[in-house]
Each structure stands twice: as structure tokens, then as C-alpha cells.
Amino acid sequence: MHILVLGGTSFVGRGIVECLLERGHRPTLFNRGRTGVDLFAGVERVVGDRDSGDYTALAGRSWDAVVDVTGYVPRHVSESVAALDDRVGRYVFVSTGLVYDRSAASEVITEASPRLPPWRGSGVVDDDTYGPLKVACEDDLLAHFGQRASLVRPGWVAGPNNRNGGFTYWVRRGARGGRVAVPERLDQPMQVIDVRDLAALVVLLIEQDLPGAYSAVGPWPAVTLGELIRACGEADLIPVAGDFDWPLLLPDPSWDIMFKISPAAAHEVGMPRTPLARTVADTLAWDRERGEPPLVWGITEEQEAELLR
């Protein structure tokens, strides 16, 4: 199949393109051409800019499906819909699990759980607007494409090539072993989805021409934060009181429901379940290969040594 990918060179988009190629499809990448220029030799690229609304390069062309990895605000979606309209078969939109309304959820979140109210304000993407903006994007796609729209709602995504650093922090620290400073609330539920599982779900929805919404999360049932850290290596976990920049720690227990999302619908269509141990091992190998650069999230070695003292 000939598939247009809006994005395709960063973490999630890169994983989707890799999966498309592995399964014999022909992706075309649409982006600004500023990152990942050394990736995917031989794959067609067209240059455009969603921030400025430049979709000129897509004019007059058609694809079997489009995967939207970089739609964050309703304007992105409305403009891509106008540029593509009836010249794509299926529109797969990578949304977020943060569309769900945690205050209205019970024991488990499913695709039928209430979502947050849509936001169509300034378009500024931050911690408060990210989920509501994605809700508005979903609504606009469903209104236009109906059964030709597929919504993928990832949880926390982990694996090789993730430069965010949250999961990588614990992988790197666990591998060093010894006494590891950790937050006190080790019983917090924790879900991380391997990027390759998320990518496979996106491709399966295209191949099977499946509409609807799918939560891309794992493991299920959720593990605890302590179990996730222990899966990263042989270490002596030392809980430390205080407000520190702990990766993957939720703000407070009222957020726990956001790591209790059921992936049943995604599993029914064939989304893989990569074991946590493999995600850890592959992330560690990638991190070491790139030279373990400084991470943007987590405490420093000096801070940890002081805490442990």
C-alpha cells in the first residue's frame, strides 16, 4: 500500500515508517525536511510545513491511507483534511490517552470512557491544553471521515530512539545497579507501550481497514513503578522523601487512573505485547550505542549521591 506519513522522522513517526517498510508498504514522508535527513534512504519525501499551513507538495496526489503523527491542534487537522480530502482511503490519527477525563473515570478506562471537553482556543500546546486540543482534533476527523477515520490513543511510549529520557533514565540507572534513589510512592501504577507495538497497531488498522478508537497501552494489568524500576536491573531501591524531578512519577494519586487504561480493543486487532524486559534491554543497547548523553529528565548523579548520603 502507498501510505502518506505526516511526520515520520522522530520517535513515534520513525517507528511507524520502520514498520511500514518491514511489512512491504511504500511510505511517503511529509515534513519540513529538517530532522532525520539521514533516515530511510530511497523513501520518498515531500517538503511542507504544518505550522505555516503549506501543503502545496500534496496537491493532486492520492494515497491508500495517511498516518498523522504531527497533528496537535485543530488547525493542523482541518488543513490536512482540506489538502487531502477524498484522495486518501483511511486517515489514522495518533492522538493521546490524555483525551480521557480522569475525573469521570472509574476503575478502568476504555475507549468508551468520557473524554475531556474539546478546546479550540489559542492553539498553544501545554500541559493543560494538550489533551483537550487532541479531543478537538479527533472530533473534526470523525466529522469529516466518519468510518474512514481511525484514532490511536497511546499511553507513555518507550523504547529505542526516545529522546525524552523518562523511561531511559530508569533503564540507565537500573543497569548501573547499587543503591538507587527512588520516590516513596513505588506502588503507583505504571504502563509503558513499546514504540514498536504502537507502530504495529497503526499499520494493522490500515491493512485491515478498521475504523474507531484504540488505546495503545501496556502492560495490562499495569505494573507498579517499583516493578518497572526493578525490571531495569539488579538494584537496591532506596525511597527518598521530597519533591524531586522523578521520571514517570505522577503528580498525585488522583492521576493513577491514567495508568489503568485497557488495551483490549488494540489486542483484539493484533497489537503485539512486547515484554517489558525486551523494551528495557533494547533501550539500554540503543542508549549505550549513542554514548549515553545527558538526559533532560531525572536527577543528576551528584544529586542522587547527596540524597543517598
Does 269 map to a domain?
no
Q: Could you tell me if 174 and 111 lie in one domain? A: no
What's the rounded Cα separation, in Å, for the pair 187 and 227? 8
Q: Could you tell me if 19 and 81 lie in one domain? A: yes
pLDDT score for 304: 95
CA-CA-CA-CA dihedral for 144, 150, 154, 160, to nearest 10? -120
Q: Could you tell me if 188 and 93 lie in one domain? A: no
pLDDT by residue, tens only, the chain of 309 residues: 999 999 999 999 999 999 999 999 999 999 999 889 999 999 999 999 999 999 999 999 999 999 999 999 999 999 999 999 899 999 999 999 999 999 999 899 999 999 999 999 878 999 999 999 999 999 999 999 999 999 999 999 999 999 888 999 999 999 999 999 999 999 999 999 999 999 999 999 999 999 999 999 999 999 999 999 999 999 999 999 988 989 999 999 999 999 999 999 999 999 999 999 999 999 999 999 999 999 989 999 999 999 999
Q: What is the pTM of this model?
A: 0.96
- Encoded amino acid at 123, one letter: G
* Among the listed residues 221, 217, 172, the one whose alpha carbon sits nearest the alpha carbon of residue 194: 217
Q: Could you tell me if 65 and 37 lie in one domain? A: yes
pLDDT score for 35: 86
Q: Could you tell me if 23 and 148 lie in one domain? A: yes
Is 150 within 8 Å of 210 (Cβ atoms)?
A: yes
Helix (H) or strand (E) holding 4: strand 2-6
* Among the listed residues 107, 126, 259, the one whose alpha carbon sits nearest the alpha carbon of residue 185: 259
Does 263 map to a domain?
no
Q: Which residues contact 172 (CB under 8 A, 6 or more apart)?
A: 284, 287, 292, 295
Does 78 map to a domain?
yes
For residue 78, the enclosing domain spans: 2-156+195-216
What's the rounded Cα separation, in Å, for the pair 118 and 102? 15
Cα angle 52, 55, 60; round to 5: 165
Total domain count for the chain? Answer: 2
Helix (H) or strand (E) holding 77: helix 74-84
Is the preceding omega at residue 272 within 30 degrees of 0, hence cis? no
- Encoded amino acid at 115, one letter: R
pLDDT score for 103: 95
Q: Could you tell me if 180 and 235 lie in one domain? A: yes
Cell reading at 71: 497533528
Q: Report the CATH number at residue 35.
A: 3.40.50.720
Q: Could you tell me if 171 and 206 lie in one domain? A: no
Does 124 map to a domain?
yes
Does 287 map to a domain?
yes
Q: Could you tell me if 63 and 206 lie in one domain? A: yes
Q: Could you tell me if 128 and 18 lie in one domain? A: yes
